[in-house]
Amino acid sequence: MLSCIRRALPLLPFLLLPLLPGALAQRAGSGPPTQDPFGQKEAAVPVRSLGNYQSHSYTNGIITIKSNTGATLRVRPWVEGVVRVEFFPLGQPVQEITSVSVVQSPVPPAPEAARAVQRLTGSSNSGALRNEANALVWALPESFGTSYATVTIQKNPLRVSYQRGSETLIAEAGGAFEQLTPTDGTGVSFRLAPDEHLYGTGSRALPLDRRGRKLTLYNEAHYGYQNGEPTLNVSLPTVVSSRGYMLFFDNHAPGTLDLGATEKNTLEYRAEGLRNLAYYLITGDSYAEILSRYTALTGRQPLPPRWALGLVQSRFGYQSEPEMYQVARRMRQADFPLDALVLDLYWFGGTTRQGDFQWVQPNFPNPRRLLHRLDSAGVKTVLITEPYIMRTSRHDALVRNQGLVGRDQNGQPYTVESFWAGPATLVDMFRPAARQWLWQQYDRLKQDGVGGWWSDLGEPENQPADMHYDAGSTRQIHNAYGQAWAGILSEGYARQYPQERLFNLGRSGWAGMQRHSLFPWSGDVSRSWSGLQAQIPIMLSMGLGGVGYMHSDAGGFAGSIPDPELYTRWLQLASLGPVLRPHGSGVPPEPYWYPEPYRSAVRRFTHLRYELLPYLYTLAWENSQTGAPLTRPMNFGETQLVASGLLEPDDTTTPPLDWSWQTDASSAWGRERRLVRQRQAFARSNQPHFTNVNDQFLLGSNLLVAPVLQPGQRRRNVVLPAGNWVDFDTHQTLPGNQTVGRNAPLARIPLLVRAGAILPLAPYVPTTARYRTDTLRVRYYADPSVRESSFTMYEDDGKSREVAEQFQLLAFEGSTSTTGTSLRVAVRGTYPGAPISRTVELLIPRVAAAPAAIQLNQAALSATDWQYEEATHALRVRFPLGAQPVQLTVPGLQLDVTPAADLIPEVVELQTPSNRTFGSSTQLNYALYQPGHYVLTIRNSQGELVKTLPLAAEAGPHQAPWNGDDAQGHPVPGGVYWAELLGQHQRLVLVR
């Protein structure tokens, strides 16, 4: 007993926290906003369909079809792989529809294509329109994709479909329609294939595959949410299909997406109060290609400042200058990296001073000195701001008198009495004078040295329905509000600080939000295992909507109960995600507060993140160029940058770059073969066991991350794509296309590397301000099954926005065959501060025996520059890299790719109970991966058997209730109990 007490002593400060006065939360109380933001009961809505064909015309690349109901349908090929469809009901003018999302202009039709359409011949030539008895059939011009893409407009009734060759990729079901209700609106429906999977739709604590759900398109804040919350801070009007297309509904009205909930094989979109309708069909032969086209349409995320990929420490909240110095000092003393500190409400004086935009005295006596000192130590400062101006704010009279806020029906400033912090007004982000005033506040603070911004509550969280803005009423503008706010910062930086990269930690937005340099987080999540489990599908779903930096309050935000194991597992996940930002209230979120062994486990992963910066920064660049997210679902497929000709010795220019999923071919035959290969790869990626994986993900193409999401779990199953995989820590080989079991002690989670991958790392530094690549630690996971592999690493100064030619590419190309293994490396381009030369420390794991010799550029490498570690089967080589390409060759290298012995998957998983602390009953959750008969037992703290619970026999997720009783049904006393299933345990606390 005494030993148990001694082990508990390091946790004593945390155990006492719930007994202390509660910390001030971001919202008073713990419930959702008092006002229902969607605000309507669901009921059957009468509709009027588009009707039948009456006539059509062609002008400037647009086919316009008139219906017998007086409605109008327009179809316009936009760019390659993208088609826009518009619907105008009777009485609505046919005109250009404004968009808060789209920034790309359509490609004008080629003259020959226009002539082909105008002739209206029966030709099957590219660009020709055939006017058939039952349909208009438009063979799209080659400039809009392949010559066999076709849009068909069925005449009676009017419906649009898209064909790729002989396959119908997507077809309208009921077509476009008008809702006949007091709020009116429009909608459209589509047919779904039986085996089709649907992704995207924004931030929702739901499984990746959204098929079978009806979802709301209205941004909402839910304080303390957990897994299962269907609507959160960012809704996106985008649906990505496993069949190779995206539907993007281009408006920001409140709406619903019915993804087969009402009718199993029908997808229906409805928008409230919308007088017309526009949607884009975006096609591609991979998810990467679809996202590339979508982000070209709505704007791509600019490259972040490198410090944004470091550890950004936050809390609710730091209250003074000495506290900031103390946190920075303690992070360094405890050997944790730190690149930024985030200041919550206290920098301007707390809850009632929202809208002041002024440092509070005497807590922050000299902000410029503070920010300069922190910056000189490699620590940026990020400030929170809100869209609410409190009635107690120093700016209350100014914004009301100048009309900078939302108004009531009489045009008077609207006071939001129900705002959680007290009466306040909301800035009208659509009014030019308000936008200018708000930018002036940011610009003034930036002169102090502010490094980044935190845009909180931007849904907005509490926005009464009877408010009005320059752009319309609350419900009309609600989803676009955060987007408009983000535009103030992005436009201001582009105008006044074009050389600087913007970091905006935003909580809400809409389609296209990524172009405003938003780094969104998933809202005020519960500090619970359920809250942690929600983060992977949230992050991946946002990535499939073009938003590549979705992350969470690492460690959990809401709640006052500490859980060091939960914190550790959350930080491990976040360290291998887009943004690492510990944050919380009620419990300290800084890692140095946690006792051993948790502190060391977290430290190891924060250090690993900094070592992976060359890889992470390259993924950030890939996102800025193509829209591919940094973290990806298991069925995303590979992307690989190819720098054509970069390795040629006589090439003195920076070569063109191609992405493997859109590499050009030199002939029609070559293009056809490439398309066949791409579609075969896409089909392999979308095998059933990869289509809805919610507990693991890919970090780029080469790393597979399998976090631990259950308390007490020390081993978990991992689903592997095809090909060999290599354990990052043990270098064991794992044959792919199967599910394997992997050990996951507290200090580790399964982190796997794709066989053949070339992975660049750098020495650890405590801040990216000290980051250098004059030494590169490169791992080449040579594998006999991968004859050729490559990786192109991107480098620049980490801060300049207008990079132009000021960047550097390092191309690595590996080759493995029976005769040996080689690695070629070349460098092109430069930037201010770039290393003149580098030292490459190469590691090749899984080497069976020491090689006889190693050659560098065909000359023998000195034996002092390489080492074979027999105990770890690793070959380490050190060589210089300058301006000229180099080739390292290991003749006859023997690789040991024997599969690891301990790969047997777990047959059951005992998961987080519905309540770990309960008064009368709890649900014990478990999953069976193999059918069979298993026993779940309840034992007391002395290990004595209390009860045996019957379990299901079939595979799948299940629940077993325990009512706090023994085998005879008698209530047991309060205390600690353990649920046990095949060696797995869950701790339960029964409170009587």
| Helix, strand or coil, per DSSP, at residue 774 | coil
At residue 123, φ and ψ (nearest 5 deg) are -65, 150
Buried b (16+ CB within 10 A) or exposed e, 495-507: eeeeebbbbbbbb
Residue 65: which of 140, 2, 155, 128 has the closest Cα?
155
Distance in angstroms (rounded) separating the CA atoms of residues 545 and 248: 10
The token duo for 207 is 């499984």
Number of helices (H) and strands (E) in the chain: give both, helices first: 15, 56
Buried b (16+ CB within 10 A) or exposed e, 143-168: bbbbbbbbbbbbbebbbbbbbbeeee
Is residue 928 within 8 A of residue 907, CB to CB? The reply is yes
- Alpha-carbon distances, residue 990 vs 472, 727, 937, 940, 948 (angstroms): 53, 40, 16, 10, 17
Q: Is 459 a catalytic residue?
A: yes
Side-chain half-sphere exposure of 471, counting CA atoms within 13 A: 22
Residue 610 CB: number of other CB atoms within 10 A?
25
Distance in angstroms (rounded) separating the CA atoms of residues 69 and 52: 8
Residue 171 CB: number of other CB atoms within 10 A?
16
Distance in angstroms (rounded) separating the CA atoms of residues 426 and 457: 11
The token duo for 146 is 């392949």
Of 172, 321, 386, 524, catalytic: 524
The token duo for 37 is 């933001």
Is residue 316 within 8 A of residue 344, CB to CB? The reply is yes
Distance in angstroms (rounded) separating the CA atoms of residues 695 and 451: 34
Of 396, 459, 727, 813, catalytic: 459
Is residue 636 within 8 A of residue 698, CB to CB? The reply is yes
Is residue 780 within 8 A of residue 843, CB to CB? The reply is yes
Q: Is 774 a catalytic residue?
A: no
Distance in angstroms (rounded) separating the CA atoms of residues 127 and 206: 42
Distance in angstroms (rounded) separating the CA atoms of residues 566 and 598: 10
Buried b (16+ CB within 10 A) or exposed e, 525-557: bbbbbbbbbbbbbbbbbbbbbbbbbbbbbbbbb
Distance in angstroms (rounded) separating the CA atoms of residues 813 and 788: 7
Q: Tokens 């759900």 map to which residue?
A: 213
Distance in angstroms (rounded) separating the CA atoms of residues 12 and 595: 10
Q: Tokens 């590549």 map to which residue?
A: 548
Give 3-state DSSP helix, strand, coil % of the chain, rounded to 5: 20, 30, 45
Element (DSSP H or E) covering residue 908: strand 908-910
Which three-class secondary structure string do you get for 836-895?
Answer: CCEEEEEEECCECCCCCCCEECCEECCHHHEEEECCCCEEEEEEEECCCCEEEEEECCCE
Residue 47 CB: number of other CB atoms within 10 A?
17
Distance in angstroms (rounded) separating the CA atoms of residues 871 and 890: 20
The token duo for 312 is 């950004």
Of 456, 638, 796, 909, catalytic: 456
| Helix, strand or coil, per DSSP, at residue 154 | strand
DSSP 906: P
For the annotated catalytic residues, the residue numbers are 456, 459, 524
